[in-house]
Amino acid sequence: MNLGLFTACLPDLSLEEIAAWAGSAGFDALEVAVWPDTEGRGHQAAHLPVARFDTQVADRTHALLDAHGLELSSLAYYENNLHPDPIRRAEIHDHLKAAVDAAALLGVPYVGTFIGRDWTRPVDANLADAETVFAGIVDYAGERDVRIIIENCVMEGWHPDGYPGNLAYSPELWEWMFSLGLYLNWDPSHLTWLGIDPVRTIAPYADRIVHAQAKDLEILPGAIDRYGFFGKSVHRPEPWDTGWWRYRVPGRGQVDWRTVVDALYEHGFTGTLSVEHEDPVWSGSEAKIKQGLEIARRTLRPLIVA
């Protein structure tokens, strides 16, 4: 098992700067964010130019990572592949395929994304739509020896009423998406607030958990008694703020990382455990984000066998 970090938390830094810091800080791998370098869609990390990728860029990328003792665990483009706007959906699919092409040139085995959801239609219609959409995506990736991995994030902020915006949040949905040829980028934080025991989901799906994200979660005491499971309704200016839980870096929340890592080892996981930093306490500046990543490293490194 490798200890990695997801570069999306440092959108203002270049891949060169992130690699230099991550190597010196004791990480083994990078899960590299590859959103388009496009203004107007929020501040998203674009750490490799996958839309303009060639063998020269691939060679420079390998040289950079080698110089800092790092591996590339996955390319990450987490977008809504079932977006209701057909033009936006086509843009997302085109960029996802560009990420697959770049991964193939780099020899990276995985590209991460979301199933997503068309929030204007019911779940059963979305599942039927996804079966058509992902058949083509999985075939495209498979022809290039790349696997598509799906993170089990709920993405409730994508839905106007805070309902699941990514239809991959539960083992029931995992079994459905595995039948489409997809794999899992397993994250225990989302399972925790849904009331699903993360550890109990490892053994049944071990053959499909090929990458994992290390993110923690804090349940805010007593807050669910005011808002209920679905979170704030009357005043929710920030769609991601449920009011009763928040993401934390590993070691600052309620995930039992010793038990999680032990279960991953027990069931044969040999991939990368990649720190995904979305902790509001350790955010706001580059220095604080790096401090949060260091907390995560200190929490997880003793659990990972050399």
The model's pLDDT over 189-238, given as tens digits with 9 standing for 90+, comes to: 999 999 999 999 999 999 999 999 999 999 999 999 999 999 999 999 89
In this predicted structure, what is the pLDDT of residue 109?
98
Q: Where do the domains of the chain lie, and which CATH numbers do they carry? A: 2-303 (3.20.20.150)
Backbone angles phi, psi at 208, to 5 degrees: -110, -5
Smallest CA-to-CA distance from 31 within 85, 87, 99 is with 99
User: What pLDDT, on a 0 to 100 scale, did the predictor assign at position 23?
Assistant: 98
Q: Which of 151, 85, 92 is nearest to 118 (CA)?
A: 85
Percent of the chain clearing pLDDT 70 (strictly above): 98
What pLDDT score does 260 carry?
A: 98
Mean predicted confidence (pLDDT) in 93-112: 98
Q: How confident is the model at residue 43 (pLDDT cuts 50, 70, 90)?
A: low
Is pLDDT of 41 > 60? no
Which parts of the chain are beta strand (E)? Answer: 2-6, 29-33, 71-80, 110-114, 147-151, 183-186, 209-214, 216-219, 245-248, 272-275
For residue 44, the model assigns a pLDDT of 84
Q: Residue range 103-116: average pLDDT? A: 98
pTM over 0.85: yes
Least confident of 164-168, 209-213, 237-241: 237-241
